[in-house]
Amino acid sequence: MVSLTPIVMSSTATVIQAASAVLSTSRWPDTSSALACRTLEAAGSSTPRFADGKLGVPSPAGLRLTPELATYGYLLDRSDDATKMLWLTAIDHLRGREIYPSDRQSFIYNPIEVLGIAAGLSTLPEGDANRTWFVDTLRRGFTNGQFRAPMSALGAHAALALLDPDAANKVSAPATPFAEIVTSELLLAATIDIAFPCLTTARREELDQSLQERMLSQGLGIGDAAEAAGAHLFALRVNDRLLAPKALMNHLDLVLTLCRRFPLLADTMRTRQRGRAAFGINDEYDVQDLLHAILRLHFDDVRPEEHTPSYAGNHSRVDFYLPRSRMVIEAKMTRNGLAQKDVINQLLIDVGRYSKMDGVDTLVCVIYDPDRYCTNPSGIEADVENIGSRLSVKVVVCPQVLG
């Protein structure tokens, strides 16, 4: 049988070259280039040179146009205070408009614009009146069947999930027929899911399969910066799959292997060559930083410090989130005052909290225990893994004494 690998590699090289060409000539800032920048940042990739350009202060009149409002929504976290105030004033003006007009000529049906506005509103605290207004507006649209086109439904659902995951869970997720939509919409769907993870694992695999079939049969015509970002990252992902050893294809097995080998890295860093000072691993933050670096070597989308939903009245942060694998990785280090019983209690709280987190199927907890505070590491792993959560829970206590 003839291998398809050279054909696929040639196709992805063409896509990467075409995407780079589009990104090098993109206008900055506009809705497409702003979404492209956010997408590449979310995936941990370098952003195009255009994103280094200084953001000017938009005019109040310009921000009354939803393309400009969405553009600066994507970029609000890097804008100055004057721009933020102008942006919020423009949102107040937007609230006075009819969002669902009878002629359907509204930003609400444009996924790039609706997500840009949601991105800006996501920088506001929960309970903010503007943020609540937009959540209610999106929910009303789903209730009244406003989002009929596949991509408008996908964009609106991703926007709702960004602002209020619980509300998004209560509306029907769009069943976008990926094999039937045009290539530009396929690329935009991939871009949206990278910037704002919103697809289930099965739907993401369906999207990747449709993109690969389209790439091999027709090529991926790239129209703008947002499509270019999605195409670029998709092509890199296909290359990674082709080049990776089969043993590394299962993401969970790979993460567990890396966690169990963590003490080998720690020991190596303590015994450096030519009398150089050791790299110390003194607390949980050191463990997290090292684990982050290791994960970045193996995954193209590693997100530190994602917020979890409220649990027992409190919000918390996730150490690391792999959205394409729907996996959270929590790292801990034992110390005096945090021994076996305390670790178990913390892990049980983590399992309850992450079981409420949308987009997560697997929780991996790694406990670095260099001073052997855990007297029964195998017992910890077994007890926490078998508590009956909806999540697949895996616990790694390391190092462990053999025999």
- pLDDT value at residue 310: 40
SS3 330: strand
Residue 311's DSSP bridge partners are 314
Beta strands (DSSP E) in 213-312 are 303-307
d(CA 58, CA 83): 7
d(CA 16, CA 26): 15
Chain-centre distance of CA 94, in angstroms?
Answer: 28
**Angle between helical axes of 183-195 and 201-217 (0-180°, round to 10):** 140
* Burial (CB count <10 Å: 0-12, 13-18, 19+), residue 357: buried
- pLDDT value at residue 243: 60
Q: Which of 259, 245, 208, 251 is nearest to 361 (CA)?
A: 251
- pLDDT value at residue 142: 95
Cα-Cα-Cα-Cα torsion 95, 97, 102, 105, nearest 10 degrees, comes to -90
Q: What is the arrangement of strands in the sheet containing 392-398, beginning at the earlier edge strand?
A: 303-307, 317-322, 327-333, 362-368, 392-398
- pLDDT value at residue 226: 95
d(CA 385, CA 378): 11
d(CA 256, CA 381): 12
What residue type is assigned to position 224 of the chain?
Answer: D
d(CA 365, CA 309): 18
Q: Are strands 362-368 and 392-398 parallel, antiparallel or unpaired?
A: parallel
Burial 275-308 (b: 16+ CB within 10 A, else e): eeeeeebeebebbbebbeebbeebbebbbbebeb
Identify the H or E element spanning 136: helix 129-143
SS3 279: coil
d(CA 124, CA 2): 54
- Full pLDDT tens readout for the chain, 403 residues: 345 567 777 888 899 889 999 998 888 999 999 999 999 888 877 778 888 877 888 999 999 999 999 999 999 988 999 999 999 999 999 999 999 999 999 999 999 999 999 999 999 998 899 999 999 999 999 999 999 999 999 999 999 999 999 999 898 877 878 989 999 999 999 999 999 988 887 888 899 999 999 999 988 999 999 999 999 999 888 877 766 554 444 788 888 888 888 887 887 777 666 667 777 788 888 888 889 888 888 887 888 765 554 444 444 566 888 888 888 999 988 888 787 888 888 888 888 888 887 788 899 999 998 888 888 887 888 888 887 778 888 998 888 644 3
For CA atoms 183, 188, 194, 200, give the dihedral sign: negative
